[in-house]
Structure 1
């Protein structure tokens, strides 16, 4: 049984330090400080399946940064809806896009109490950054949210981000594609969608993907599904994929030539961007 958080770990109101949180587990994977022992237990468990497990989070973060840079520099879109934003770390969505487009508006959505506390701090420092407490797997709640509607104009193209989120949906297997269909149907023409997702590469690295999946799903966090490339591509239904399509995150417009061979974990997370015609 997990005991109470050590006295040195301050626990915000509404946070249960005896239950793992997706946002805090990712923070632990990234080497952050906004996590508790229960979250680090998940990290250590996945490391037993793959010592390089931290690269799931690092590759996801790298994809986010490159995707946001692409949106800001190549599309000029100035409104961003970031679903399941997680805890702030180096180079968040608003930091990347507002560097190129200072007037860009970013609405973050999450329902983790620790994330909410950080979200309120963001509101105080950035007039173009806003935060909404909603369940990202309930599209109609988010699409009808007053704050979302106030700061996102659904008559103009926008960017929708689902990065490292849909593999944590626990429900009927076909539902992630249905969830994305609801979001995509609501987007105006010319909008873009970015998705990253745990990948079963269906090759010699599949065994480590399934071992990590087993550790995630039977850990205190309880979620983490590794889908195949065709299953991830289904999430983009109705969109035109931007070159190079849905690929390993490490292969999506890297910042330079890949000199080092990819490790087994880097083969197990994929990402892509689609445009709504």
Structure 2
């Protein structure tokens, strides 16, 4: 595994980490009390969050399997990958495409450390510690150049990540990545949305306070739809609440309430 080394002082356990909060909601053990406290506080205003996170992860697995098995894509860049968990992108993709290459991107140093430990023996994967908005750095990185051939289709994953950045920055990020990808590439985009103004305001304010400002905004469906303006949406299923995107079965955890939801789909670069 290539990349930057992790030093103990790089990990701030006094401020909740988005990656560690996800880990807690997914039943992982790589989190601290401050992360668990933040999650429990969030559940008070958004009680469906645990099921939402689980279904977002299941969507990621389904969409990667579909892209690898049905569309023949064997190159993936996972923006905001988070901590490794069961059935990571490379594991799903490599079942269909044994030589599939995956580059994971995250700015949390603990993700880099865990990723290196997990992926060190897999020559077709890499973890890069970077801001997901730094497209030039990511696409020009030595590990990306080693694993990704940009003359061929690539799947760029933005699963439950764009709500971390501001409106103009999110739109610019999607444009910048689209411009660099070959025809036939796919962008997987979904983010937290709500049709309730009080939820958009309260959850956004809570996450900004809790994570030291590392949060953009809970948006509305039409705003996420705008990210696909230069892409051809795969329809069916179109842009939907992600638990309904090509579901395997009815066994996934159900959200009992929809104060917010994960919403999006897959767009093809033409």
TM-score under structure 1 normalisation? 0.87
- Secondary structure class of the residue paired with 2:92: helix
| Cα distance change, pair 94–221 in 1 and its aligned pair in 2 (3 A) | farther
- Measure, in 1, the Cα distance between the counterparts of 2:212 and 2:45: 16
Contact 1:59 1:266 in 2 (8 A): no
Mapping for residues 13-162 of structure 1, pairs under 5 Å:
13-162=9-158
Quote how far apart the aligned CAs of 1:210 are: 4.4
For 1:191, the equivalent position in structure 2 comes to 185
TM-aligned CA deviation for residue 148 of structure 1: 0.8
Q: Secondary structure at the match of 1:174?
A: helix
Which residue of 2 is the match for residue 3 of structure 1? none
Please list the CA deviations of residues 108-144 of structure 1 after superposition, one character each: whole Å capped at 9, or x if unmatched. Answer: 1112111010121133231211111211012122122
Indicate if the aligned counterparts of 1:248 and 1:267 stay in contact, CA closer than 8 A: no
Report SS of the residue matched to 1:270.
strand
**Take 1:261 and 1:24, find their aligned partners in 2: how far apart are those partners?**
23
Q: Which residue of 2 aligns with 1:236?
A: 228
C-alpha contact 1:159 1:193 (8 A) present in aligned 2: yes
Deviation for aligned residue 1:218: 2.8
Could you tell me which runs of 5 or more consecutive residues in structure 2 were left unpaired when the two chains were aligned: 1-6
RMSD of the alignment, in Å?
2.1
The answer to whether structure 1 residue 251 and structure 2 residue 251 are counterparts is no
Instruction: Return the alpha-carbon distance in structure 1 between the equivalents of residues 210 and 65 of structure 2.
Output: 34
* 1:23-74 Cα shifts (integer Å, max 9, x gaps): 1111112121111112112201111102232122112101101101111111
SS of alignment partner, residue 130 of structure 1: strand
Tell me, yes or no, if the aligned pair for 1:196 and 1:270 is still in contact at 8 Å. Answer: yes
| Partner secondary structure for residue 103 of structure 2 | strand
Gap change, CA 1:24 and 1:254, over 3 Å in 2:
same
> Which residue does 2:256 correspond to in 1?
263
- In 2, are the aligned partners of 1:194 and 1:272 still within 8 Å (CA)? yes
SS in 2 for 1:118: helix
Runs of 4+ in 1 over 6 A off after TM superposition: 258-261
Alignment-derived partner of residue 3 in structure 2: none
Q: Distance in 2 between matches of 1:84 and 1:253?
A: 23
Partner of 2:158: helix, strand, or coil? Answer: strand
In the alignment of these two chains, the number of paired residues is: 262
Normalising by structure 2, report the TM-score.
0.90
Alignment deviations for residues 212-254 of structure 1 (CA, whole Å, 9 cap, x no partner): 3333233235425211111001122311000222110111111
